[in-house]
Amino acid sequence: MTDDTASAQAMTDEWYPVGLISQLDKTGRQTALMGEPIVVAHDADGQALVTGHNGRRLPVKLRYGHVWSSLGTPKKDIFAIPEADQPGRRFVDVGVVRVRCSPLRAVENFLDIAHFPFVHTDVLGAEPHTEVLNYTAEIRPDVDEVWATEVKFYQPQASKSASGGITTEYMYRVPAPTCSVLYKTCPPRPTEWDVITLFVQPLAEDLCDVWPWMALFDDETAMTDLIHFQQMIFLQDRSILENQVPRLLPLDPGMEIPTRADLTSIAYRRWLKRHNYTYGAQLVAR
Amino acid sequence: MMRLYDYVLSPSCYKVRLMAALAGVSLELRPVDFHPGAEHRGPELLSLNPAGSLPILVDGDLVLTESSAILVYLAGKAASQWLGRASPVDAAREQQWLSFSSRLTTSLGSARLHEMLLRPGDIGALQAAGIAALRELEAGLVEQRLQGRAFLVANAPTVADIACFPYVALAPDGGISLDPYPAIRLWSRALRALPGFIEMPGIHRLHELKPEPLLEPGVV
C-alpha cells in the first residue's frame, strides 16, 4: 500500500456526523462526505438510511443527537461520551453551520484558548486577561486520544448560566480526527463538567459542515437561549476560520512557530500525522 | 418595554438591536429558534407575522414586522437626529436607501444563508446581485464623500445607514469579499466607531487604538 492510499484509507474508515436525528425525513438531506455525494434520509419504516454514490448503502449509527456514517468500514465503534448517558443533563442540538475551511482546522480552532479575548471578547475572554496559563497536553496511549487538562482561563461569561466573570477550567479531548469533546466548569453544579462537542462533517478538504452539540446541567435556561449562545460563539469563529492561510492544516513543523499556548494543537497535529489522518492537511510546507 | 422577537445571527434583527443601543432604548429580547428549529414558521409567530420573517417588534398594540419601519419607529421615539428630515432631499435620500436595503437582504443576505446555514438558492446569481448592489452603494458613498458627507444621507448617520450596514458588513459570510470597496470600508469603520455601537457574530468591534506615542501625557 502506498502512503497515499494508506492516508486515504485511514480517514475513510472513520465515523462522521451527517445530520440531526431530529431532522431525518423521507426526502433526505443531500450532502457529501469527503467528496462523495450522499443522501441522509429515513426509509418507510423510519430507519435512518445513508446512501452513497450509485445508491450504495453506507454504515449508519445514531448517537449524540446525530446520524453518523462512513465511506469505508469502521474498525471501531463511535467514541464513547459517558456523560451522554448521565441522568439530569440536557442535550442541545445546536444545528449545522457550513464553513469554508479544512475540517481539521475547525477542530484545531476549537482546541485553542488563546483567541478567546480577541474573538469572543467579553464572553469567553477579555483583555487584559489574555495569558494562557501552563497546562498539560498529551496523546494518551491507552485510549489513543489527544487530551489537554488543567486548562484554566478567566471568562466574563463562560456560559449562558454563568453570572459574572469566573475562572473556568477546561479539559479537551480529541477522540476522532474531526471530532472534539470539551469538558468545562459547570456553573450551576461545580462537581460536574458541562460537555460541549464539535462534530465536523468533512465535505471536501477545504469545506465542512460543523455540528456543535452539548450535554449540560442547566435547568434554568431556555433551550433556544442555549442554542443561540453556542451559535453566537461559533459564528464569531467562522469568519476567522474562513480566512486562515494556508487553507489546509499544515503538518510540517517548518511552517509555523508554535508557542506554549499551542501545546494541544501540536499534540493534535502529531496525532493526525501518526495515524495518517491527512484529509484536509498539508504535509509538505509550500 | 418594547419586545423584539430576535435571532442572534439575523442581520435584520441586529439592525434593530444596534439602533436601539445607539438610541439608548432598552428592548426585551425574545429569542426565536430560527435555526435549526424554524420557530418563525410556527403558529405562534405566524399569528404575529404572517410573512414568517424576523424581526418582529411589539410595543403595546403596535406590531411591526419590517426592519426599516422598526428603525424609523425607534429613532422617532428616542433619537430623532437619526431621521434624515433636514430637507426634502434628505428625506427622499433616506427613503431611497431604506428601500435599497431590501436588495441587500435578498442578495447578500440570501447568499449568506446559503453558504452558512445551507438554505436553498442559486448562489452564483445571489452573489452577482450582491456585488451589483455593493457597487451601487460604493458609488453612492463616494458621491457623498465628494460632497463632504461621511454617511448615506448627511454628514451624520441616519436610520438609512443602519438599514444597509449589517448585510454589507457580513457579505464575506456569503463568499463576497469587501476588498474592492474602499468607501464602504471607511463607512463601516465610521459606523463601528460610533459611541454605543454593539457587535454581532461576524461583525467585530474596532480595536481600541493606543494613543499616538508622542501625544501621550508626559511625553514631549
- DSSP per-residue codes, A41-79: EE-TTS-EEEE-GGGPEEPEEEETTEEEE-SS--SSPPP
- Give me the domain span that covers residue B92: 82-192
B39 and B93 housed in the same domain: no
Instruction: Collect all residues of chain A within an 8 Å Cβ-Cβ radius of residue B7.
Output: 228
- Over residues B23-36, the pLDDT tens digits come to 999 999 999 999 99
Task: Quote the minimal CA–CA distance from A232 to chain B in Å.
Answer: 6
Adjacent-strand bridge partners of A202: A208
- Cβ neighbours of B115 (radius 10 Å): 22
The answer to whether residues B141 and B153 belong to one domain is yes
Please report, in tens digits, the pLDDT of each residue of chain A (286 residues total).
445 566 668 999 999 999 999 999 999 999 999 999 999 999 999 999 999 999 999 999 999 999 999 999 999 999 999 999 999 999 999 999 999 999 999 999 999 999 999 999 889 999 889 999 999 999 999 999 999 999 999 999 888 887 888 899 999 999 999 999 999 999 888 899 999 999 999 999 999 999 999 999 999 999 999 999 999 999 999 999 999 999 999 998 777 888 889 999 999 999 999 999 999 999 886 6
Q: How many domains does chain B have?
A: 2
Write down the domain spans for chain A. Answer: 1-78, 83-282
| Residues B66 and B113 placed together within one structural domain of the fold | no
The Cα A228–Cα B57 span in angstroms is 19
pLDDT category of residue B216 using cuts at 50, 70 and 90: low
Nearest CA in chain B to A19: B36
Rounded to a whole number of angstroms, the distance from the CA of B201 to the nearest CA of chain A is 5
Note whether residue B43 is domain-resident. Answer: yes
Cell of B128: 452577482
The beta-strand segments (E) located in A75-232 are 90-93, 97-99, 136-140, 145-155, 166-176, 179-185, 193-204, 207-216
Confidence class of residue B210 from pLDDT cuts 50, 70 and 90?
A: low
pLDDT in tens, B71-112: 999 999 999 999 998 899 999 999 999 999 999 999 999 999
Question: Nearest-CA residue of chain A relative to B39?
Answer: A224
Helical spans, DSSP H, in chain B: 11-23, 43-48, 67-78, 88-104, 110-117, 123-146, 159-169, 182-192
pTM: 0.92
- Among B31, B37, B201, whose Cβ lies nearest the Cβ of A235? B201
Searching chain B, which residue's CA lies closest to the CA of residue A239? B202
List the helix and strand counts (H, then E) for chain B.
Answer: 8, 4
> What span, in angstroms and rounded, lies between the C-alpha atoms of A146 and A150?
14
**Of the candidates B80, B102, B118, which is a domain's last residue?**
B80
B206 pLDDT higher than 90: no
Residues B76 and B106 in one domain: no
A19 φ, ψ (degrees, to nearest 5): 175, 170
Enumerate residues 6+ apart whose C-beta is below 8 A from B47. none
**Distance to chain A for B113, nearest Cα, Å:** 10
Among A112-116, A174-178, B147-151, B216-220, where is mean pLDDT lowest?
Answer: B216-220
Would B199 be classed as within a structural domain?
A: no
**Does B111 share its domain with B15?**
no
- Give the number of other Cβ atoms within 10 Å of residue A254's Cβ: 8
Inter-chain CB proximity B205 and A235 less than 8 Å: no
Shortest Cα distance, chain B CAs vs residue A121, angstroms: 9
**Which fold does the domain A1-78 belong to in CATH?**
N-terminal domain of TfIIb (2.20.25)
Does some domain include residue B155?
Answer: yes
- Mark yes or no for CB contact A98/B35 under 8 Å: no
CATH of the domain at B39: 3.40.30.10
Looking at the structure, tell me whether residues B76 and B96 fall in a common domain: no
Which of B24, B52, B80 represents a domain boundary (last residue)? B80
Residue carrying the nine cell digits 453570572? A163
Domain containing B156 — which CATH number?
1.20.1050.10
B53, B102: one domain? no
| Chain center to CA of A63 | 15
- Determine, yes or no, domain membership for B213: no
- Within a domain: B94: yes
B67 and B114 in a single domain? The answer is no
CB contacts, 8 Å: A121 with chain B = 205
Q: How far is B33 from chain A (nearest CA, A)?
A: 5
Q: Across the interface, which of B8, B115, B118 has its CB nearest the CB of A228?
A: B8
Residue B17 belongs to some domain of the structure: yes
Instruction: State how far the Cα of A156 lies from the Cα of A159, in Å rounded to an integer.
Output: 9
Q: Which residue of A227, A230, A244 is the best one to mutate when testing the B interface, meaning the one whose CB has the most B CBs within 10 A?
A: A227
Partner-chain contact A222 B173, CB within 8 Å: no
Q: Which residues of B touch A24 (CB under 8 A)?
A: none
Q: Which of B31, B39, B115 sits opposite A98 (nearest CB)?
A: B115
Q: How far is A270 from chain B (nearest CA, A)?
A: 30
Write out the CATH class of domain A83-282: alpha beta
- Indicate yes or no: CB of A238 within 8 angstroms of CB of B39: no
Contacts of B9 in chain A (CB under 8 A): 228, 231-232, 235
- Do B60 and B22 sit in the same domain of this protein? yes
φ, ψ dihedrals at B110, nearest 5°: -70, -35
